[in-house]
Amino acid sequence: MSLLGADFRRDLEIRRYPILIYVFVPLTALVLQAWLPRILGNFDWFDLPFVITVYFALGRRSPIQGTLMGAVLGIFEDALSHHAIGVNGIAKTVVGFLAASVGVRIDVENHIIRLVLNFLLSLLSSAICIFIYRVLLGLDFAWQWQTELFLAIGNSVIAAVLFPLLNRLQVRE
Amino acid sequence: MDSFFVRYRNIVVLLVILLAQIIGLATQVRRTDSGHNALNPRDDRGVLLIRLWANALVSPPEELIHATRMGIAGLWQNYVDLRQVRAQNQQLQQTISRLRLEQAELLEDARQGQRLQALLGFQEKYIYKTLAAQVFGSSGSEQSRVFYIDKGSADGLRRDMPVITADGIVGKVRDVFPRTAQVLAINDQTSGAGVILATTRIRGILRGDAAGQLEVVDITADERIKPGEPVLTAGGDMVFPRGLPVGVVEKVVPDPEQDSFVDVIVKPAAHLNRLDEVLVITSTEPRFPPQGQRDLDTSQALDGAQAAAIAEQQKAAQITAERLPNLVEPNVPPDQQPLNDTSPPNPMAQPPQPLHPDQFSPSSVTDQGSDQPAPAGSATPRAQSPGQTKQSPAVPTQPSPQRSPRRNP
């Protein structure tokens, strides 16, 4: 019954977007993520591909689509760096899956829930990356918890601002 | 089996994707000889295709954004520069305007300084005491040619004091206020000044006409009056001291009211329409410059010495008169005083008759049988008789001193 209820609610609240949005918005996120740090310097406490992954995962309420979106954005993000390809891919794959899974069960239209969800998922993403680097791959990876905390806060703030803007792009039936 | 994948497809997809990525990670990390894991940045197998794709996908938009940003930044910078240039241009224009004003002020100050310097030089040399004043206003009417100066009764000005410049007379003080005074210009119709033509010495009355021209009126027609003749103050009007320049004769026109009279139009020496600084003669007591005053003192001192010398001479004469025989006899009546004797002081006395008259005796020079004396030319030896010549050795004559050495060698 709960599953039926969940499926029913998912079908009702699922968001649909033009096909180009699925290409343009992630690409823009990747480009801005690669370009903005050159301007902001040391204040690049945000991860736009992460925010886009969470948004589409919550909006589409599909774990598979969230997983694929996170995997693609993460892999491309890794590909633009000099690090091993797949670290961010794995992290955002998990994030996309969890966001979509959570979005099926709770009301994500609430701004506070969005903030908290982005904050927690960002911390989880950072934890997965650190885990992969230091445990799975056994690489020397220096990190600071303050940086990860600021990154989580930045992602939450950006999500709070960006989600309403992206909602305008959805298809109204 | 199908239902399992359908039911758990989300988890299955997740696991598959994670597994694929983990395997991909495992292919990128290698264990070194020292037992540490590391990426192989110096892998000479080329660039991973995924990196190439990512770069090909992200770099063009990034370059576009960067170029757009640089373009916008350039436009903004140009705009800001343009605004700055515009503002700077406005500022420079204001600076130029201010400098022009300052230059004009400095030029005016320099001109005023030159005028004041000339006025001061004239004031120092002028024999009468003057007070410099600044002209600051006028009546504003052509019918009333008066102007106002910034000196008044508090500065010692009084009515009818003459106002002049270094070039010539200007007018006279009319109304005196505590701090200002009204000056009636000489070219006003109600003004008047006694003047004299410098060359012909013709006197007249100077006044202004309706057009503000100076004219000397009531002058008998005289052909000697020529344009260019200087006109000076005559000094008889009790206002202007004599000898101040008034102007020069510009032309002579017949008096329309009187046939035998002419009006002499005078070009004023002072610029009556462009007066800035004037001098008010506050005292007609002669005031000499320092050198002149020293010369005057020296002259006065010399006069005193001369008087003293005269007194000394008189005193000496008196003393001499006292010591010499007195010409005034105290016991003789005044009409019989020797000083009052008009008779010749040395009446001709009859010479004594010579004991042995000769040709040189007074009586011998008279003609025989006549008392009139003979003329001097006739008393020559050739006129003498031989008998008289014989008598001369008998008369001993006083030998001359020049002959004595020869007589007494």
pLDDT tens digits, A45-84: 889 999 999 998 988 888 898 999 999 999 988 888 877 8
Residues A105-117 as b/e (b if ≥16 CB within 10 A, e otherwise) read: eeebeeeeebbeb
Q: What is the CATH number of the domain that holds B271?
A: 2.40.10.340
Q: Are residues B136 and B283 in the same domain?
A: yes
Q: Please report, rounded to a whole number, the percentage of residues in chain B having pLDDT higher than 90.
A: 17
| Reported confidence tier of residue B391, pLDDT bands at 50, 70, 90 | very low
A166 vs B333, more confident: A166
Answer yes or no: is pLDDT of A150 > 50. yes
pLDDT of residue A173: 65
pLDDT tens digits, B28-77: 887 777 777 777 655 556 667 777 788 888 888 888 888 888 888 888 88
B321 in a structural domain: no
Residue for token pair 């040619």: B145
Q: Which of A78, A98, A133 to mutate to test the interface with B (most CBs of B within 10 A)?
A: A78
pLDDT of residue B370: 46
Identify residue B60 by its one-letter amino acid code.
P
B38 to chain A: which residues are within 8 Å by CB? 139
Residue for token pair 């903004």: B76
Q: Are residues B31 and B151 in the same domain?
A: no
| Reported confidence tier of residue B288, pLDDT bands at 50, 70, 90 | low
How many alpha carbons fall within 13 Å on the CB side of residue B215? 21
Q: Which of A25, A69, A76 to mutate to test the interface with B (most CBs of B within 10 A)?
A: A76
Q: In the 3-class helix/strand/coil scheme, how is B124-178 assigned residue by residue?
A: HHCCCEEEEEEEEEECCECCECEEEECCCHHHCCCCCCEEECCCCEEEEEEEECC
Q: What is the mean pLDDT of chain B?
A: 78
Task: Tell which of B258, B287, B316 closes a domain.
Answer: B287
Strand, coil or helix: what is A65?
helix
B275-288: average pLDDT: 82
- The first and second tokens of residue A112, run together, are 């506070």
B302 in a structural domain: no
Rg (CA), chain B: 62
Q: For B62-66, B216-220, B289-293, which range has the lowest pLDDT when averaged over its residues?
A: B289-293
* Cβ–Cβ gap B62/A89 under 8 Å: no
C-alpha closest to that of B13 among A67, A56, A57: A67
B97 in a structural domain: no
B22 in a structural domain: yes
B58 to chain A: which residues are within 8 Å by CB? 27, 30-31, 34, 76, 80
| Reported confidence tier of residue A128, pLDDT bands at 50, 70, 90 | very high
> Which residue in the set B21, B53, B65 is minimally distant from A31, CB to CB?
B65
How far apart are the C-alpha atoms of B217 and B208, rounded to whole Å? 10
> Which residue in the set B17, B36, B39 is minimally distant from A84, CB to CB?
B39
Q: Are residues B31 and B136 in the same domain?
A: no
Q: Which of B58, B59, B65 to mutate to test the interface with A (most CBs of A within 10 A)?
A: B58
Of all residues in chain A, the one with the smallest CA distance to B47 is A79
pLDDT tens digits, B110-127: 988 888 888 888 877 777
pLDDT of residue B301: 79
How far apart are the C-alpha atoms of B213 and B267, rounded to whole Å? 8
Q: Please report, rounded to a whole number, the percentage of residues in chain B having pLDDT higher than 70.
A: 74
* Cβ–Cβ gap B21/A83 under 8 Å: no
Strand, coil or helix: what is B232?
strand
pLDDT of residue B381: 45
Residue B279: strand pairing partners: B132, B164
A101 to chain B: which residues are within 8 Å by CB? 10
Which residues touch B270 (CB under 8 Å, ≥6 apart)?
Answer: B164, B165, B167, B168, B169, B170
Task: Tell which of B287, B305, B327 closes a domain.
Answer: B287
**ipTM, two decimals:** 0.85
Task: Tell which of B252, B287, B322 closes a domain.
Answer: B287
Q: What is the mean pLDDT of chain A?
A: 84
The helix (H) or strand (E) run that includes residue B267 is strand B261-268
B384 in a structural domain: no
pLDDT of residue A54: 92
Answer yes or no: is pLDDT of A93 > 90. yes
A134 to chain B: which residues are within 8 Å by CB? none
Inter-chain CB pairs, A–B, below 8 Å = 95
B193 in a structural domain: yes
B82 in a structural domain: no
Q: Are residues B24 and B171 in the same domain?
A: no
B55 to chain A: which residues are within 8 Å by CB? 79-80
**Enclosing domain of residue B33:** 8-37
* Cβ–Cβ gap B10/A85 under 8 Å: no
| Reported confidence tier of residue A40, pLDDT bands at 50, 70, 90 | confident
- The first and second tokens of residue B342, run together, are 């008009």
Give me the number of domains chain B comprises. Answer: 2
Whats the size of chain B, residue-wise? Answer: 409
For residue B249, give the DSSP letter.
Answer: E
Q: For A125-134, A145-154, B335-344, which range has the lowest pLDDT when averaged over its residues?
A: B335-344
pLDDT of residue B403: 39
Q: For A5-19, B40-54, B164-178, B295-309, which range has the lowest pLDDT when averaged over its residues?
A: A5-19
B220-230: average pLDDT: 88
Residue B252: strand pairing partners: B264
* Cβ–Cβ gap A63/B10 under 8 Å: yes
- The first and second tokens of residue B68, run together, are 């757009």
Residue for token pair 């006549």: B370
